[in-house]
Each structure stands twice: as C-alpha cells, then as structure tokens.
C-alpha cells in the first residue's frame, strides 16, 4: 500500500457529513470523486487522519433548474454533468469545459464539486464558475450559506470553505437572450493540466455586446476574472468587431499577467499564449451569440 | 496516524462473483484486486492516476482502480480484464483486435487499454479518428507508438458493429 492509514467515514446524510467534518476539523478531509485527493495521498504529499466520504450522500448529486438557476450538486460526476441534457440546454459552456477535465475515466469518477473545492489553478471549472457568476452553496453547522465564485477562490488549492463546511452545490444563473460561450486551452495532450486557458461568456442584444465575462486559468494562483476586457467589449456593435479587435482585447487581458515558469512552459509563453486564447475565445463566443 | 484503524467489511461483485472481504480503509481497489482477489491482470504503473494501466469497469464505467478506495467499491460491480472474455480460451472482440493488429508489445499497459476501449466502444460504436485519439489519451503505452492500438480500436469497432446486426438471442 502506498497511502498512510486513515479512518474512513461514509455518512449517508448531509447533516451527518457536516457533523463529521465539524468534529474533526483540520484533521479531516472530504473525499468526493477522489481523483485529486487520492494521488496526493498516494504520493504522501498530504495526510488526513479522517476522510469523510460523501459518495453515499445521494442528496448531493444531480442537476436541477431552480428559478432560472442551474444547480449542480457537488457529488454530481463530471461525466454525468457532461452528458446532461439539462446542462447542455441551460449552460453549454459547462458541457464544453468538462470535456477538457481529465480523461473520460477520470470524469467517470471525478465530481463537479470536488473540482471546485480542490481549486487547482489550472482546472477549468473554477474559471467557468467565475465567468458564469456562479455561487457556491456551502453547508456547515449553522446551515447554508452562499459565496459568489469571485469570493470563493483565495489561493492555490485554497478556498473560503471552512474546515467545518462542505460544498453542497454550485448555482449558476441561466440568462436568456442571445448567448455565446467559448473555452480555449493549451495542454500537452487532451486531459492534461492546462498550461493556460481562457473562458468567455457573452450576451448580445440589439446588435451589441450586452454582457461579457472573461476568465483565465493556469496563469496565476487562482482563476482570474478580466473585468477590464469585459468592460471594453460591452456595448460594441458585434458586426464591427473583427479578428484584430479580438486579438487586441486578448493582448490587453494578458498584459499584466505574471504566470509561473515550470517544466511545462515558461511564464512568458503562458502570457503570450493566453493573449491568443482570449482573443480566440472572445471571437468564438461573440460569433455564437450573434448567430444565436 | 490514528491507532483505531478498523478494517471495514465490503461485498463487491468481481467478474460476476460476489466477494466478501474486510479491508483497511487505505487499501485501493487496485491493490485489493491484485492481492486479495489475485487478479493480477489489473496492472499498476504510476499508482496516481496518470498511466491508466489499472483501469477497470466499476458498475460498467471505466475508472482508475488506483484512485478508488476498495471500501468505496462496497456494493459495486467490478469487471477486470480477466472478466471480459466470454469463456476459457476465448477473447473478447477488443482483445481479439488488439492481438490481430499488434496493439501491444510488452503488454504492461494492455489491460488498461482493453478495458478503456471496451467501455468507449460500448458508448460510441462508430468513432471518428479524433474520438479514438481522445479516448486513448487516458492510457499510456511506451512500446507501440499507438498505431497498432489505433488499428485495434478501428477493427474492434467494426467487429462490434457487424455483430449488432445479428439479433442478441440467435
């Protein structure tokens, strides 16, 4: 065996799961799909005395449309969200982004909430949550609280989730009108960690960009929103926008990035490729919205 | 390290047989299959979810057995590479195609590939080249250069499509 010993708790109710994490605090870790946690345990990069396995908590799984919000339970397998007709209809960006998450064998086990709570800087779903103005629904000893995605990701692998709390679901507003979405990333192979990636969501009204959101992943300690680019794009007539305009916005969005160097890519490369990915994602999203 | 590490009871269906066991919480499904069930066809390469050699079917879906605790598989049904062939001295269509197309050399990665491809073709019996490439991206092979494996997937897809014309119970 590769893993250090731990106790495994398998509650079937959310309340019991919360009681367990609240009781053990920092000594405990929630395990959902385990596709990030088990490698860390196997490599002995981390250890917890108590694992609280939420796989048996049925109420944390599933996709629902609630009052124009798409609500995805934290334990929903990535593969199930990816193939969900409801997700595809409501927010196709999520279906598209999920295809980039690991390999299909990983997505069969990995969960939507696990990816968000793990908060790897190079993962897709946190950036998608930012661009779609999602909120995290968190249960703890005092009940349910909602945290906007913008306030959820604090650092690499670090969120505002308390050690006595569990991410229960993610709530994503579904906007009407003419919408366009795009995600672009550069990775060595499909399913590998992205070296850089961009997400874009826009709506178009009366021939102009009505709303825009751009977020990046793989380029900093957390996913990043690029509000200045969104503001720059908002109000522009879509038919006047050409490739050079999108490229310019991409350069603007990437200008102040200071991505890390590692064995996969230099920071300089990551910044340069980010500009291109942003330009590409913006163009694709705007064109999709314009022709919707 | 906690000192009250209780072994937990599990009942897991493995290749059609119900197996009862008591396992340490930290035991992975892969280690249990190999060491308790003596099903050593499930190979362990990286043991952290990268190489895909340990891929098995869990309730019909391809997963990394090194990234699942055995205790979490309680109540589930597992199919390993040993469970794919219809009978002794027979091969499944995917296994047959790997053999005929030289989809293997040393064979270390093969069980994982065969399981992944079996699951993939069950969902997508007429894949495009790009879809095949994507489906294979979760398994690593250091020998073949993948060309034989690609060919095996095409061949297996063909065999499975041909079979589907024949009614199941004939």
By CA distance, what is A28's nearest residue in B?
B2
Q: Nearest 5°: phi and psi at A68?
A: 65, 15
Tokens of A239: 């038919």
Tell me: pLDDT of B80 over 60. yes
Sequence-distant (6+) residues with CB within 8 A of A42 are A2, A3, B28, B47, B48, B66
pLDDT at B170: 43
pTM of the model: 0.95
Q: Nearest-CA distance from A260 to chain B in Å?
A: 23
The predicted-structure confidence for B93-151, as pLDDT tens digits, reads as follows 999 999 999 999 999 999 999 999 999 999 999 999 999 999 999 999 999 999 999 99
By CA distance, what is B134's nearest residue in A?
A190
Q: Which residues pair with A172 in a beta bridge?
A: A70
Tell me the pLDDT band of B1, cut-offs 50, 70 and 90: low
Taking the CA atoms of B50, B41, B109 and B152 in sequence, report the sign of the dihedral they define: negative
Residue ranges of chain B whose CB lies within 8 Å of a chain A CB: 1-2, 4-6, 8, 24-28, 31, 47-49, 52, 55, 58, 61-64, 66-69, 71-72, 116, 119-120, 133-135, 137-138
**Mean pLDDT of all residues belonging to chain A:** 96
Sequence-distant (6+) residues with CB within 8 A of B4 are A7
Q: Nearest-CA distance from A20 to chain B in Å?
A: 16
CB < 8 Å & 24+ apart, contacts of B11-14:
B11/B74, B11/B75, B12/B70, B12/B73, B12/B74, B12/B75, B12/B76, B12/B77, B12/B78, B13/B76, B13/B77, B13/B78, B14/B39, B14/B78, B14/B79, B14/B80, B14/B83
Stretch A41-46: mean pLDDT: 95
Cα–Cα nearest to A82, from A69, A66, A99: A99
Give residue A23's Cα distance to chain centre. 29
ipTM of the complex: 0.94
The predicted-structure confidence for B29-53, as pLDDT tens digits, reads as follows 999 999 999 999 999 999 999 999 9
Residue carrying structure tokens 């066809």: B41
Stretch A196-213: mean pLDDT: 97
Tell me: pLDDT of A27 over 60. yes
Q: Alpha helix (H) ranges present in A166-266?
A: 227-233, 243-254
Of A5, A10, A189, the CB nearest to B5: A5
Using the beta-carbon criterion (under 8 Å), do B2 and A35 form an inter-chain contact?
A: no
Tell me the pLDDT band of A3, cut-offs 50, 70 and 90: very high
pLDDT at A206: 95
Tell me the pLDDT band of B3, cut-offs 50, 70 and 90: low
Tell me: pLDDT of B167 over 80. no
pLDDT at A1: 65
| Cα–Cα distance, A291 to A181 (Å, whole number) | 12
Tell me: pLDDT of A20 over 90. yes
| Cα–Cα distance, B50 to B45 (Å, whole number) | 9
| Cα–Cα distance, B124 to B130 (Å, whole number) | 12
Tokens of B47: 């043991």
Stretch A270-285: mean pLDDT: 97
Of B2, B28, B48, the CB nearest to A49: B2
By CA distance, what is A7's nearest residue in B?
B5
Sequence-distant (6+) residues with CB within 8 A of A185 are A100, A124, A194, A195, A196, A197, A198, A217, A218, A277
Interface of A with B in 71-90 (CB under 8 A): 79
| Cα–Cα distance, A139 to A146 (Å, whole number) | 9
| Cα–Cα distance, A253 to B134 (Å, whole number) | 30
Tell me: pLDDT of B6 over 90. no
Give residue A120's Cα distance to chain centre. 9
Q: Which chain B residues have a beta carbon less than 8 Å from that of A106?
A: 49, 64, 67, 138
The predicted-structure confidence for A126-160, as pLDDT tens digits, reads as follows 999 999 999 999 999 999 999 999 999 999 999 99
Using the beta-carbon criterion (under 8 Å), do A55 and B72 form an inter-chain contact?
A: yes
Q: List the beta strands (DSSP E) in chain A.
A: 7-9, 28-31, 50-53, 63-66, 69-73, 135-140, 143-148, 153-155, 158-159, 166-173, 178-186, 196-205, 208-217, 224-225
């Amino acid at each position: 065996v590769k893993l250090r010993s731990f106790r495994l708790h398998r509650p079937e109710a959310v309340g019991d799961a919360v009681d367990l994490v609240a009781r053990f605090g920092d000594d405990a870790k929630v395990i959902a799909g385990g596709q990030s946690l088990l490698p860390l345990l196997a490599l002995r990069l981390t250890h917890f005395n108590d694992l609280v396995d939420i796989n048996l908590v049925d109420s944390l799984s599933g996709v629902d449309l609630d009052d124009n919000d798409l609500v995805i339970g934290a334990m929903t397998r990535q593969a199930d969200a990816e193939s969900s007709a409801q997700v595809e209809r409501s927010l196709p960006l999520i279906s598209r982004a999920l295809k980039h998450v690991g390999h299909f064998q990983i997505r069969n086990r990995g969960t939507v909430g696990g990816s968000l709570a793990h908060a790897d800087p190079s993962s897709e779903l946190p950036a998608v949550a930012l661009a779609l103005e999602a909120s995290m629904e968190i249960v703890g000893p005092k009940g349910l609280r909602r945290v906007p995605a913008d306030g959820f990701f604090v650092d690499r692998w670090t969120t505002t989730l308390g050690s006595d709390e569990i991410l229960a679901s993610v709530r994503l507003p579904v906007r009407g009108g003419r919408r366009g979405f795009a995600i672009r990333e550069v990775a060595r192979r499909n399913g590998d960690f992205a070296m850089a990636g961009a997400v874009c969501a826009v709506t178009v009204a009366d021939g102009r960009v009505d709303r825009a959101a751009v977020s990046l992943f793989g380029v900093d300690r957390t996913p990043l929103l690029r509000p200045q680019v969104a503001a720059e794009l908002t109000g522009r007539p879509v038919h006047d926008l050409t490739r050079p305009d999108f490229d310019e916005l991409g350069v603007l969005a990437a200008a102040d990035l200071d991505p890390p160097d590692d064995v996969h890519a230099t920071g300089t490369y990551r910044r340069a490729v980010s500009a291109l990915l942003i330009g590409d994602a913006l163009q694709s999203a705007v064109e999709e919205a314009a022709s919707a | 390290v906690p000192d009250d590490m209780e072994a937990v009871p599990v009942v897991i269906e493995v290749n059609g047989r119900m197996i009862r066991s008591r396992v340490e919480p930290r035991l992975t499904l892969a280690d249990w299959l190999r060491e308790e069930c003596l099903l050593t066809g499930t190979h362990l390469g990286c043991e952290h979810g990268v190489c895909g050699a340990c891929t098995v079917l869990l309730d019909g879906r391809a997963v990394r057995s090194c990234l699942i605790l055995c205790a979490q598989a309680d109540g589930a049904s597992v199919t390993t590479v040993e469970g794919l062939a219809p009978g002794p001295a027979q091969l499944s269509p995917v296994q047959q195609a790997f053999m005929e197309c030289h989809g293997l050399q040393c064979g270390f990665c093969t069980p994982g590939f065969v399981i992944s491809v079996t699951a993939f073709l069950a969902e997508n019996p007429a894949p495009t080249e790009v879809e095949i490439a994507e489906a294979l991206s979760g398994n690593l092979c250091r020998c073949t250069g993948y060309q034989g494996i690609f060919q095996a997937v095409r061949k297996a897809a063909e065999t499975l499509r041909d079979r589907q014309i024949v009614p199941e119970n004939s």
